[in-house]
Structures are given as C-alpha cells and as structure tokens.
C-alpha cells in the first residue's frame, strides 16, 4: 500500500465539500449580504491553514475568530480581509489590533474605556464591533427589555471615546437551533431587541455599517434576519446546527476520521480487554486493536458503547478506550487483517457513520466532536478527488 501520509490515524478533509457548502450558503444570502466565515478553533478542527485560504478564494468577505492568536494566524496566512475577534483580548494589545487591522468585539463600558485608553496612549485606532446581549447571557451590553435605556446610553458614550472606530454591531442567538425554542419565538424576541438598540441609536445619529446576528441556524431558518452580514460556522463544514435542522440544506460533511487495524487476535471465554477489565469475552470472539485513543480525541465515553465501521460493517468497541488504543469486536466480519482501513466517523467508499450519530454515542454534539479531534491526528486534504495537501501538527516531514 502506498500512502503519501502516515497511515496510523488521520482526518480526511474534503475541500470540495467545503466549496459546495460555501456555495449553498451563498445562494441563500440576499444580494449584498456579506458572509463572515467563522473559522475559530482551527476552523472547527478542520485546519484553518487550508480552510481559510479556500474560503478567501471563494469570496467570503470577512472572517471571525475567537482570539487574537487565531487572528494573527490568519494574517500570517496572508488573509488580508477584515477579521473580527468574537471574544476577549487584553486591552494592552490595542496597538497590535490596530497595526494588523483586526477588529475587536467590545462588550461593556469598562472594557471599552480600557481599550480606548491603550489605543489613545499608543496613538492608534482600534476598529470595534459592539456586542449586544439580547438573551445569550454571555458577552455584551445587556438589553433584555424593550423599555431599558442602559445599553443605549452606555453605547452612546463609548462611541465618543478616542481611539475606537465604530465598525459593526452584533448579537448572538441562544437557541436559533430550536433547542429550548421550538417555535422560534425566543430568537424572534432577540432579533427585535437587537433591532430596537439599532433603531434607537440611529435616532441619535449613531449608525453602523455592519449589523449582524445570524449564526448557521438563523442563516438557514431566518433569511429576514440577515441584515448586512451573516456569521455561519458549522454549516460551512457541512454539519447541521441541530437535529431539528436536519436536511434543511444540501450540506456535505467535510471531515472523516479514519484509522487502521494494528492487530487481530482471537479471544477465548473469560479473556478480558483493556484497563479495568470492563469487558470479558463470553464466547470465542475475534478482536482487533485500532491505534486511536482519547489523546487523538477519540473519547473514553465510547468505552463498551460505540462502534466503528470496517468495510461498512459495524464493529463494536469492547473495553475501555485508552490514551492511544481501542479494541473492537470484529467477529463475523470476514478477512479482517493488519493494515486494513477503518472508519471512526464520516464516510468511506463502503459506508457512513454520521458525525451526529457518533456524537450522540459520546454524549455530545458534532461541534465538540470535530473541535476535539487531536492535534496528533494529521489532516489530509482532498480536492477534485485528489490529495491536495496535509497538515501535520506533530512532525511535519515525509516518512
């Protein structure tokens, strides 16, 4: 077998799927609505080094990340477009933000004052997007009631601060994926509160070029809420924001997690498997060891619980998932041997184990699953059916 990468455990990333998903989303946007591609957390584990330049080429107008290191990583990848940091940046980094033209989320008066002080002292201007908390309860000027004036007054005064340039205003939906909001009424209320802030600031002559609130779920469900820009994340990678949004768009999952068989052996009644001896063979079985464990992001919660696919057939996990290895029962799957490829989630030529089904077995959601694929797992990229590159976080040379 000839591999251009180490055939131990790897994540296959389908760049054609990413392109397809980008185009599906773009078709749903009103003319003029911008797309801010959310590429935080290493592009949801897909490898921002390959994902961001592709989305840049496809025409994404802006990028969103969670912190300044991720923003600087994009600049180092020669991404010249606007970048917004959605989370916290220590205010003393005002100069770095300004120099690299990175926009910062400003979420309360105290933070605005500190950022302004540092920017003014360094003689720079930081671009800001003001965040409104309309019900997420995380970051943002709190506006939970149409009667309230606090947020409006505070924003009015921070807009006068030196060293800060007003660029955008946004909010984030808590349940646009319908979890805890079956009829979408909470999202609608958040949207109304957000529009209320925008309208009242406008009456004071304070306007924003970039008003945005739609995450993936709202981008698909609420086209009337697109405003100037949308912030899709999970759907770019081809996954559904929640089970309630299954099949609302023709998305293609971009990531598949694969591994190989390292050893096959026969176990006899009474033989136990792995730490803690939580599995004991009741009859003759054939077991296979796979070189993947929780250090690769293969969660221990799958112990005696999940399964993998070998040539499309289910092989249940037996015993505990270890740091580097996992054992599966391959009884009844013919001719299993060392070196055979196996599927942990995603699709191969013989079958599919949807990341959502896998995540449910782990007690989590697709978002966490892809983010947790370990940095020990190389990402192998495919485009036009051909390998187009690879990303090795540990050892970056050909073996």
Ligand X SMILES: *Cc1c(COP(=O)(O)O)cnc(C)c1O
- CA separation for the pair 241, 233 (Å, rounded): 9
Contact assessment for residue 24 and residue 49, using Cβ atoms and an 8 Å cutoff: no
- CA separation for the pair 176, 245 (Å, rounded): 10
- CA separation for the pair 8, 395 (Å, rounded): 13
- CA separation for the pair 153, 206 (Å, rounded): 12
| DSSP H or E stretch at residue 380 | strand 379-383
The residue (of 25 and 308) whose beta carbon lies closer to ligand X is 25
By rule CB under 6 A, what count of residues binds ligand X? 11
**Pairing verdict, β 272-273 and 229-230:** unpaired
Which residue in 275, 337, 393, 395 is the catalytic one?
A: 275
For the chain, state the CA radius of gyration.
Answer: 24
- CA separation for the pair 120, 164 (Å, rounded): 9
Which residue in 22, 40, 358, 367 is the catalytic one?
A: 40
The residue (of 216 and 256) whose beta carbon lies closer to ligand X is 216
Q: Is 18 one of the binding residues for ligand X (CB under 6 A)?
A: no
Taking CB under 6 A as the criterion, the residue among 104, 154, 187, 216 binding ligand X is 216
C-alpha closest to that of 390 among 19, 6, 74? 6
Answer yes or no: 40 catalytic.
yes
Q: Is 82 one of the binding residues for ligand X (CB under 6 A)?
A: no
Contact assessment for residue 163 and residue 94, using Cβ atoms and an 8 Å cutoff: yes
Closest separation in Å from C-beta 91 to ligand X: 20
The residue (of 234 and 380) whose beta carbon lies closer to ligand X is 234
For ligand X, which stretch binds (CB under 6 A), given 91-99, 185-193, 232-240, 388-396?
232-240
Taking CB under 6 A as the criterion, the residue among 34, 172, 200, 379 binding ligand X is 172
Q: Is 38 one of the binding residues for ligand X (CB under 6 A)?
A: yes
C-alpha closest to that of 283 among 272, 267, 297, 299? 267
Q: Is 89 one of the binding residues for ligand X (CB under 6 A)?
A: no
Closest separation in Å from C-beta 233 to ligand X: 3
Q: Is 46 one of the binding residues for ligand X (CB under 6 A)?
A: no
First to last CA, the chain: 14
Answer yes or no: 314 catalytic.
no
For ligand X, which stretch binds (CB under 6 A), given 7-15, 227-235, 338-346, 386-394?
227-235
- CA separation for the pair 242, 365 (Å, rounded): 8
- CA separation for the pair 237, 252 (Å, rounded): 8
Closest separation in Å from C-beta 140 to ligand X: 10
What residue number has its CB nearest to ligand X? 233
Question: Helix, strand, or coil here: 92?
Answer: helix
Taking CB under 6 A as the criterion, the residue among 17, 97, 128, 234 binding ligand X is 234
Q: Is 21 one of the binding residues for ligand X (CB under 6 A)?
A: no
Closest separation in Å from C-beta 215 to ligand X: 4
∠ Cα 217 56 210 (to 5°): 55
Taking CB under 6 A as the criterion, the residue among 231, 293, 329, 366 binding ligand X is 231
Give the footprint of ligand X on residues 94-133 (CB under 6 A): none
**Pairing verdict, β 341-348 and 351-353:** antiparallel
Q: Is 135 one of the binding residues for ligand X (CB under 6 A)?
A: no
Q: Is 86 one of the binding residues for ligand X (CB under 6 A)?
A: yes
The residue (of 107 and 307) whose beta carbon lies closer to ligand X is 107
Residues that bind ligand X (CB under 6 A): 38, 40, 86, 172, 215-216, 231-234, 241
Active site residues: 40, 275
């Amino acid at each position: 077998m000839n591999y251009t990468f180490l055939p131990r455990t790897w994540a296959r990333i389908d760049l054609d799927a990413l392109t397809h998903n980008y185009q599906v989303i773009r078709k749903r946007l009103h003319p003029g609505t911008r797309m801010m591609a959310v590429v935080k957390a290493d592009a949801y584990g897909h490898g921002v080094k390959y994902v961001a330049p592709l989305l840049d080429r496809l025409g994404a107008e802006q990028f969103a990340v969670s912190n300044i290191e991720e923003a600087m990583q994009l600049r180092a990848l020669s991404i010249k477009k606007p970048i917004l940091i959605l989370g916290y940046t220590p205010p003393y980094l005002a100069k770095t933000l300004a120099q690299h033209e990175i926009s910062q989320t400003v979420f309360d008066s105290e933070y605005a004052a500190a950022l302004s002080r540092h920017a003014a002292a360094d003689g720079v201007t930081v671009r800001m997007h003001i965040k409104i908390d309309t019900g997420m309860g995380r970051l943002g000027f709190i506006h939970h009631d149409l009667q309230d004036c606090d947020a409006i007054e505070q924003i009015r005064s921070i807009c006068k601060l030196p060293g800060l340039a007003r660029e955008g205003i946004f909010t984030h939906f808590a349940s646009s994926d319908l979890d805890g909001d079956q009829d979408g009424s909470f999202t609608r209320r958040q949207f109304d509160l957000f529009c209320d802030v925008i309208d009242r600031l406008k009456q004071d002559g304070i306007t924003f070029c970039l008003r945005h609130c739609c995450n993936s779920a709202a981008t698909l469900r609420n086209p009337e809420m697109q405003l100037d820009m949308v912030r899709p994340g999970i759907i770019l990678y081809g996954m559904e924001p929640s089970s309630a949004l299954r099949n609302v768009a023709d998305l293609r999952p971009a990531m598949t997690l694969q591994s190989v068989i390292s050893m096959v052996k026969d176990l006899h009644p009474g033989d136990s498997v792995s730490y803690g001896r939580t599995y004991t063979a009741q009859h003759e079985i054939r077991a296979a060891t796979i070189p993947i464990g929780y250090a690769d992001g293969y969660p221990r919660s799958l112990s005696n619980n999940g399964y993998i696919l070998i040539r499309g057939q289910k092989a249940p996990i037996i015993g505990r998932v270890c740091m580097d290895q996992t054992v599966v029962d391959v009884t009844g799957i013919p001719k299993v041997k060392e070196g055979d490829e196996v599927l942990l989630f995603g699709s191969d030529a013989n079958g599919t184990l949807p990341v959502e089904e896998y995540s449910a077995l782990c007690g989590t959601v697709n978002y966490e699953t892809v983010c947790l694929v370990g940095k020990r797992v190389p990402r192998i990229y495919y485009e036009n059916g051909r390998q187009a590159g690879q990303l090795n976080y540990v050892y970056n040379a050909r073996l």
